[in-house]
Structure 1
Amino acid sequence: MEPSSLGRRSKQVRAKKRIEQLKGFYIHLAVFVIVNIMVITGAVVGNMGNGESFVEAFFNFGTFSTFFFWGIGVVFHGAKVFSYNPFFSKAWEERQIQKYMDADKNEMKKYL
C-alpha cells in the first residue's frame, strides 16, 4: 500500500468510528425521549386515577425521577460524544504538558 492510502484508510476508520458514536448518542436520545413520554404519561394518568388533580400528578418528583436521573446519563453521553469536557480541556492539557516539560528542563539544568 502507498503511504497516502494508509493515511486515507486511517481517516476513514476514524470517521466511521465517529459516525458510530454519533449514531449511538442519537439512538440513546430518541429512546430517552420516547420512553420518558410513556413513563410520564403513565405516572400522571395513574396518579390522577388515585384521586390527584392533574397539577398534583404532573408536579410530583416520582413523575420526573426517571427523566431526571436518566437525563444525567444522556448529558454525560452527549458530552463524551461531542468532546465537551469543561474540566480537562485541550488548553488545560497543553498547560500541564508545558509545566512538566519545563520541570524536566529545570531538572536537567541541575546536572549540566
Structure 2
Amino acid sequence: MNDEKYERAKKRVEELKKFYANLVTYTVINVILIIINLVTSPGSLWFYWVTIFWGAAILLHASKVFVLRGKFLGEEWEEKKIKEIMEKEGKSKG
C-alpha cells in the first residue's frame, strides 16, 4: 500500500515538474522572441502568434495537471478500464 502511494506521489511530482519546465521554457522563449521581433521588425508583430498558440497548449497542460489530475485518460482511468476488461473477460470465460 505504501509503495502504491509512493509511486502515485512520484508520478504526480513528475507531472508537476514537466509542467513547470514547460512553463519556464515558454516564458524564456517568448521573451527572446519578443526581443527579436521588436529589434528586427518592429512594424510587424509576429511574436504574439507563437505566444497565443503555445499559451493555449500551456493552458491545456495546466488543466490536465491541476484540474483533471489524471481523471481523463490518466492513471485512474487506466485502472478503471483494466478492471472493467478483466471483469468482462472473467465473465466470458466463466
**Alignment RMSD:** 1.8
Residue from 12, 17, 23 that aligns with 2:11: 17
Residue from 55, 66, 78 that aligns with 1:71: 55
Task: Name the SS of the counterpart of 2:67 in structure 1.
Answer: coil
TM-score under structure 2 normalisation? 0.68
> Who wins on radius of gyration, i.e. which is larger?
1
Unaligned runs of 5+ in 2: 73-94
Distance in 2 (alpha carbons) for counterparts of 1:82 and 1:35 = 23
Distance in 1 (alpha carbons) for counterparts of 2:30 and 2:47 = 10
Match for residue 41 of structure 2? Answer: 47
1:47 shift after superposition:
1.1
One-letter code aligned to 2:38: V
Match for residue 38 of structure 1? Answer: 32
Match for residue 26 of structure 1? Answer: 20
Percent of residue pairs identical: 33
Point out which structure has higher relative CO (alpha carbons under 8 A, 6+ apart): 1
Contact 2:23–2:58 (8 Å) recurs in 1 = yes
Unaligned runs of 5+ in 1: 1-6, 89-112
Distance in 2 (alpha carbons) for counterparts of 1:26 and 1:12 = 21
TM-score under structure 1 normalisation? 0.58
